[in-house]
Chains A and B, each alone.
Chain A
Amino acid sequence: AQSVSQHNHHVILSEAASLELGCNYSYGGTVNLFWYVQYPGQHLQLLLKYFSGDPLVKGIKGFEAEFIKSKFSFNLRKPSVQWSDTAEYFCAVTHNAGNMLTFGGGTRLMVKP
């Protein structure tokens, strides 16, 4: 079955540490890739998206992600996390030019001050 996998369910980091969250998908064909963030008690917000072109995508708040087609991956990175990055992060995919998002299970990030 087609799916989106996020390998880390919980991540704890200290401020200024680097972050990489893994995301793999199993779809063939054309995909659009997204990372959403959900801060405590809030709704989902788009961090960044990839549709085509440069596989290194820069988003808001210093986040970036790299699309590696051969590995079916779209990992999220940030060089130096802040306490305010504490949130849950979701990778999501749409495929074949559709709107239906399929989400990964999410990764809870806690950043210790």
Chain B
Amino acid sequence: NAGVTQTPKFQVLKTGQSMTLQCAQDMNHEYMSWYRQDPGMGLRLIHYSVGAGITDQGEVPNGYNVSRSTTEDFPLRLLSAAPSQTSVYFCASSRQTGSYEQYFGPGTRLTVT
């Protein structure tokens, strides 16, 4: 199993550009989520999904969109990038019930200039 994969690993955007961060998992997990990591603030939840076709907002959803058309994939879209979105982004997945242990992807480091 590859676990949770994310692409790209690094990305530089100009203000106003759009892009999609990809996340995929091969563990048949129902729950998937996106976090951003900023120094001194830990990880903050952006959006999450409890299954295909179901998404909801987390703590810091503004400026980001998500969709969940399949169990495996959970892309994060930045429609108009801003410097405040410079961060490291982590995708995670877990089973919806049971141990709730979340498995994290390797992260995407995004810089917006």
Contacts and interface: CB of A to CB of B under 8 A. Distances in A.
A81 B90 CA distance: 28
B40 A105 contact: yes
A32 B100 CA distance: 9
Interface string B8-49: 000000000000000000000001010100001111110010
Interface in A28-70: 32, 34, 36, 42-46, 49, 51
Nearest to B45: A100
A75 interface: no
A50 to B, nearest CB: 11
B99 interface: yes
Interface residues of B, number: 25
25 contacts: A6-B42, A34-B101, A36-B104, A43-B107, A44-B43, A44-B90, A44-B104, A46-B101, A46-B102, A49-B101, A90-B42, A92-B43, A99-B33, A99-B48, A99-B94, A99-B100, A99-B102, A100-B33, A100-B45, A100-B58, A101-B45, A101-B102, A103-B35, A103-B42, A104-B42
Nearest to B44: A103
A103 B43 contact: yes
A104 B43 CA distance: 8
A33 to B, nearest CB: 11
